[in-house]
Structure 1
Amino acid sequence: MDDTGPATRRTFLSGAAVLLALPAFSVARAAAADGTVVETADGKLRGAARDGVVSFKGVPYAADTSGRNRFMAPRPVAKWAGVRDALAFGDRCPQARRAGGREIVAPPVPPQGEDCCVLNVYTPGAGRDAARPVMVYIHGGGFQGGSGDGATLDGTALARGGDVVVVTLNHRLNVFGYANLGGLDPDFVDAGNAGQLDLIAALQWVQTNIAAFGGDPHRVTVFGESGGGAKIVALSVMPAADPLFRNSINMSGSGAFFLRPSQELRDPTDELLRVLGLGKGDLRRLQAVPVARLYAANVTALANLKADQLRPVVDGRNIIHAPQSAAGWAMQAAKPGIMSCTATEATPWLLRDRTNLAVTERELATRIQAQFGIDEARAQDVIAAYRQDGPKRSAWDVLVDVASDALMRAPMRKATEARAATGKQPVYLAGFDWRSPVENGIWGGPHAIDVPFAFGTLDKDRLTAGGGARAAAASRNLLAAYVAFATSGTPQNPNMPAWPAYDLARRPSMLIDETCRVVNDLHAARRQIGETLAPQSTFDVTNGPLVHPAA
């Protein structure tokens, strides 16, 4: 609604005239007084106030990573004089324009480039006395795409509603952030984990500067969905990250549980060099290859190897233990955590081919056999276990649940169990149970549907916009749990019943929707039969016969 009537406009114009008459230093003082100018260790920043929140966008936390800095650990930012505008998002790491058939960022798309170590801060009010909890969001998109500036990642509503300081960020991805070059040249020893080292640099920036934005550096929670959650898993086995955050929230981030030693992952590097026509002694020349050519060569190299993406590597220097090792679980369990999944994680992949909606009983059994390498009788046992949730469930319903469990829900639950078994810090298991009514409900509760609920940006995603009162209530409940966790280290809050930490006797999950409830051993029959099947990686599922019958 436009409330700028004639009287309001006259007042605005009169105020503008007075403002123009003031000396420049008076304007600067006014900006500082209302919290839109904040001084960091690198220099002063000017933000913008909207809806009770001040945002600072495109703030550099590390130097430009191009040229001689390509593939290197992040370098410090050069300090600046005067006041630097922080009013627009910074560059995203070079990547594809689309991910999973959907725009990564709603138009207008921010520019891409190697000067991508930037972050955004949303605060209800600057000032060192506020000491609000800090929630640092690490974006999804696997290790190959995404950014912290999408419409659903606007931190305004979360900062205002939760009275927290929200940080989103960009960092190096794909070949720029995870090229495993260290085994060929010691000068590039950090290249395979450069993207993770960027995240550490961002968290170090938070420790140094967030108090000036009204945040408490002793109460930093990292949270992330999909690839963001996977990056949090990798951070948890990096000693340098240990003092930089207190809690973690992993939303469907199963993609880093299978990280491998760097020496086992030479093929992508060798193939990249072959595609570019370079030798193993030519790594310095890689720093001069144009961005578009380097990105395209990496895509070609991965396609030639039938691989999906580059990932962090267990190099013994930055990542010291595989996440699924006993030592890796112990490191992850050293901090309180929330692990969560959505109701039907696999629908975004399955619905890329709408013929999957008409899968038959025979096709369902055949695809389960092929995916898990089992015989027909065993496949029928799997189907029967999944039908214990409802005997009239269609073949499509069963396919969605089998694929969702294999893709996300089973590995996330197993990680929760492994952390709980250490007896260290509490870990809480959640199921986000809201389902979209769009297209007669075929999407269910797909992968990433929880992101706009956590940020309070339901109007920014087509699957959540128009969700009405029920969606709004589910958003309030999810936000309340995450804010409580960031504030106190426990998700207990008045919007839901008591949420017990996970244990192997009860296996409790909090189902979060318009109303919330605790369920012990959720989908027990599915869990029990799933434990007898071969584990599947995200690549195995998204490229396998469950999703692609011809695979």
Structure 2
Amino acid sequence: MIDRRKALASGLAAAVFASPSVAQRRAGATADPRVQTRHGPVTGTRNDGVAVFKGVRYGAPTKRFMPPEPPASWTDTLRAVDYGAASPQRGGGEAQSEDCLFLNVWTPATDAGKRPVMVYIHGGAYSSGSGSHPLYEGTRLSRRGDVVVVTVNHRLNVFGYAYLAPLVPGLEDSGNVGQLDLILALQWVRDNIAAFGGDPSRVMVFGQSGGGAKIATLMATPAASGLFHSAATMSGQQVTASGPINARRRTETWLAAMGLTPDRAAETLTAPIETLLEAMSAEDPILGFGGLYFGPVLDFRSLPRHPFYPDASPVGRHIPMIIGNTREETLGFMGNDPANANLTWDTLPARLTPGVMRIDIDPAPIIAAYRRMKPDWTPDQVLIGATTAGRSWRGAVIEAEERAKAGSPAWVYQLDFPGEMPSGRRGAFHTADIPLVFDNVDIPASRVKGPGAQGVADRMSDAFIALARTGDPNHPGLARWDRYELPRRQTMLFDVDSRMADDPRGDERAFFSMIPYVQPGT
């Protein structure tokens, strides 16, 4: 029997946590929130009852291509009210600098609350992005779940993943310093988050696209072991890392674009940032199209094996994990190009190019298979369906199956609820799950709005919060979400009426399973 006094105390605590702004008013919390970190004091601001700290330094100014170092300590209180600089990248409207090791914290209260911690790792294919996108604003998620939300900047593209180890002595870790930045950020969370009201023993990492791929890679990185206790990947997977031979070929192609031979690779240590970035536009020698890919490298130092090949890495098998994708994934990449709309069966083959499919198959058997499996689909639907199932979804299926084989806990979802592209096309496109998980569907940056959107956000965000809190995404507002097992392949379909399904799109999965999968970029 539950002790009555404990139950009443628990109920009062729940009421306070459900309305942190009330708790703060009762405590007379009118001043800006102040926290003493291990390195020095910081003050933030308040937003709708949530304490917000932006641009908190977790690493020292970086040394190019070298592993990160903790920041120097400070004594004066620093104002953490503006986002820190993003890693150098092509494009983007925010401040950029090689001094980019900053993170942001949203918390209901800077007390001893021991709240679950949700660390978001941004996407951008290892090449672009930052933790300050409006969709990642953590106020609503923090307040909704009584959780501490953290977003992170780290080094990207050549600054985080150029493989100079074979060419320049002392740069043995250069192919993975972007991942080492993330490990340093998680160490900062371990050492400091209690002062922000968080529980360092309940840290969840979650990320979309490249952010999910970074998480999958961390789950095979021994140095990250113990730094997080649950994980969720959204349209982002990393079955294999870049092999060292391919990574070296890309680096040498990058050098050649700058007019450098391999024996002059050390000159990149002092070359202008713009020169290094511009050379990334050279054609990728492995893929044969597009700009150069730079991502994690199988260097047998920080990364001793592939994340999900030949199986799920033992380093991360015990970690409860959500693995998700969206139903019309590639609409997010292709849906704004007029050339990909109003197709006919005669014009469709030219759109199913190797650069789009990323696998070794001709268009004809793909089209024939879809006309048999989906006789009511239009050519436009076949383009998006085939590229999603054959390219973007494959890695998620492999990761889920490998975890099922290992008996590791995984809950799989497919987002079916549609958003609207700038072109007007609708579907559950790449990135559509971000505003739903952050409970930010109504902000201007969201393209997932309208009737039913908030209900889907309620179910998705509460599932992620539940995983952070308990290691299981089930909650009272959602139909029972079963773990993914073989051969059933149980999957939650998030929509206005969310429901479980066994092996959704199983016909497409079976068709593409006959063709060897190569991780895009590797």
TM-score in terms of structure 2 length: 0.88
* 1:365 CA displacement: 5.1
Matched letter for residue 371 of structure 2: A
Q: Find the counterpart in structure 2 of residue 513 from structure 1.
A: 495
Cα displacement string for residues 233-282 of structure 1 (whole angstroms, at most 9, x for unaligned residues): 1111110001100011010113x323133244211222333333445444
1:72 to 66, 73, 88: 66
- List gaps (5 residues or longer) in structure 1: 1-29, 99-108, 541-551
* DSSP-derived class of the 2:170 partner: helix
Q: Find the counterpart in structure 2 of residue 258 from structure 1.
A: 240
Q: Find the counterpart in structure 2 of residue 384 from structure 1.
A: 371
The within-5 A match list for 1:161-180 is 161-180=144-163
The within-5 A match list for 1:454-493 is 454-461=437-444, 464=447, 467-493=449-475
Q: Find the counterpart in structure 2 of residue 63 from structure 1.
A: 60
Matched, 1:226 2:213: no
Equivalenced residues, count: 491
Cα displacement string for residues 146-203 of structure 1 (whole angstroms, at most 9, x for unaligned residues): 0000111100010001110000010000111101011123400111101000000000
User: Against the structure 1 CA distance between its residues 220 and 148, is the aligned structure 2 distance closer, same or farther, given a 3 Å change threshold?
Assistant: same
* 1:82 CA displacement: 1.8
Q: Find the counterpart in structure 2 of residue 8 from structure 1.
A: none
RMSD: 2.4
- List gaps (5 residues or longer) in structure 2: 1-26
Aligned partners of 1:369 and 1:89: how far apart in 2? Answer: 40
* 1:515 CA displacement: 2.4
Q: Find the counterpart in structure 2 of residue 543 from structure 1.
A: none
Q: 1:32–1:38: 8 Å Cα contact kept in structure 2? A: no
* DSSP-derived class of the 1:331 partner: coil
* DSSP-derived class of the 1:361 partner: coil
User: Against the structure 1 CA distance between its residues 314 and 437, is the aligned structure 2 distance closer, same or farther, given a 3 Å change threshold?
Assistant: closer
User: Against the structure 1 CA distance between its residues 301 and 76, is the aligned structure 2 distance closer, same or farther, given a 3 Å change threshold?
Assistant: farther
Worse-matched range after superposition: 427-436 or 351-360: 351-360
Q: 1:89–1:110: 8 Å Cα contact kept in structure 2? A: no
Matched, 1:494 2:470: no
Q: 1:348–1:443: 8 Å Cα contact kept in structure 2? A: no
User: Against the structure 1 CA distance between its residues 45 and 314, is the aligned structure 2 distance closer, same or farther, given a 3 Å change threshold?
Assistant: same
Q: 1:56–1:120: 8 Å Cα contact kept in structure 2? A: yes
Q: Find the counterpart in structure 2 of residue 211 from structure 1.
A: 194
* 1:325 CA displacement: 2.2
Cα displacement string for residues 358-406 of structure 1 (whole angstroms, at most 9, x for unaligned residues): 111233356559655556773354213540xxx3221111221111112
* 1:64 CA displacement: 0.7
Worse-matched range after superposition: 352-361 or 85-94: 352-361
Aligned partners of 1:92 and 1:287: how far apart in 2? Answer: 19
User: Against the structure 1 CA distance between its residues 364 and 279, is the aligned structure 2 distance closer, same or farther, given a 3 Å change threshold?
Assistant: closer
The within-5 A match list for 1:391-406 is 391-406=375-390
TM-score in terms of structure 1 length: 0.84
Cα displacement string for residues 440-498 of structure 1 (whole angstroms, at most 9, x for unaligned residues): 96231110111111112223355536x23411111111101000000000001011111
Matched letter for residue 68 of structure 2: P
1:92 to 86, 100, 113: 86
Q: Find the counterpart in structure 1 of residue 275 from structure 2.
A: 293
Q: 2:332–2:421: 8 Å Cα contact kept in structure 1? A: no
Aligned partners of 1:497 and 1:299: how far apart in 2? Answer: 47
Q: Find the counterpart in structure 2 of residue 37 from structure 1.
A: 34
Aligned partners of 1:215 and 1:375: how far apart in 2? Answer: 52
Aligned partners of 2:164 and 2:367: how far apart in 1? Answer: 46
Aligned partners of 1:535 and 1:464: how far apart in 2? Answer: 31
Matched letter for residue 464 of structure 2: Y
1:47 to 44, 49, 52: 44
- Structure with higher Rg: it is 1
* DSSP-derived class of the 1:458 partner: coil
Matched letter for residue 160 of structure 1: R
The within-5 A match list for 1:231-310 is 231-254=214-237, 256-300=238-282, 302=284, 306=289, 307-310=291-294
Aligned partners of 2:430 and 2:278: how far apart in 1? Answer: 27
User: Against the structure 1 CA distance between its residues 378 and 38, is the aligned structure 2 distance closer, same or farther, given a 3 Å change threshold?
Assistant: same
User: Against the structure 1 CA distance between its residues 190 and 210, is the aligned structure 2 distance closer, same or farther, given a 3 Å change threshold?
Assistant: same
Q: Find the counterpart in structure 1 of residue 75 from structure 2.
A: 81
Aligned partners of 1:48 and 1:534: how far apart in 2? Answer: 51
Q: 2:55–2:81: 8 Å Cα contact kept in structure 1? A: yes
1:321 to 290, 305, 317: 305
The within-5 A match list for 1:526-537 is 526-535=508-517, 537=519
* DSSP-derived class of the 2:397 partner: helix
Q: Find the counterpart in structure 2 of residue 333 from structure 1.
A: 317
Aligned partners of 1:61 and 1:32: how far apart in 2? Answer: 26
Matched letter for residue 217 of structure 1: P
* 1:536 CA displacement: 5.1
Q: 1:323–1:329: 8 Å Cα contact kept in structure 2? A: yes
* 1:526 CA displacement: 1.4
Aligned partners of 1:186 and 1:297: how far apart in 2? Answer: 22
Q: Find the counterpart in structure 1 of residue 24 from structure 2.
A: none
Cα displacement string for residues 515-548 of structure 1 (whole angstroms, at most 9, x for unaligned residues): 21000111121122121234254359xxxxxxxx
Higher helix share: 1
Worse-matched range after superposition: 441-450 or 146-155: 441-450
Cα displacement string for residues 383-438 of structure 1 (whole angstroms, at most 9, x for unaligned residues): 13540xxx322111122111111222222112101111011x31011011110256
Matched letter for residue 57 of structure 2: P
* Percent identity between the two aligned chains: 36
Q: Find the counterpart in structure 2 of residue 407 from structure 1.
A: 391
Cα displacement string for residues 82-123 of structure 1 (whole angstroms, at most 9, x for unaligned residues): 21000000100111225xxxxxxxxxx431111100000000
Cα displacement string for residues 38-97 of structure 1 (whole angstroms, at most 9, x for unaligned residues): 0000000010011010110001110111xxx11100011011112100000010011122
User: Against the structure 1 CA distance between its residues 461 and 282, is the aligned structure 2 distance closer, same or farther, given a 3 Å change threshold?
Assistant: same
Aligned partners of 1:449 and 1:187: how far apart in 2? Answer: 42
* 1:330 CA displacement: 3.3
* 1:503 CA displacement: 0.3
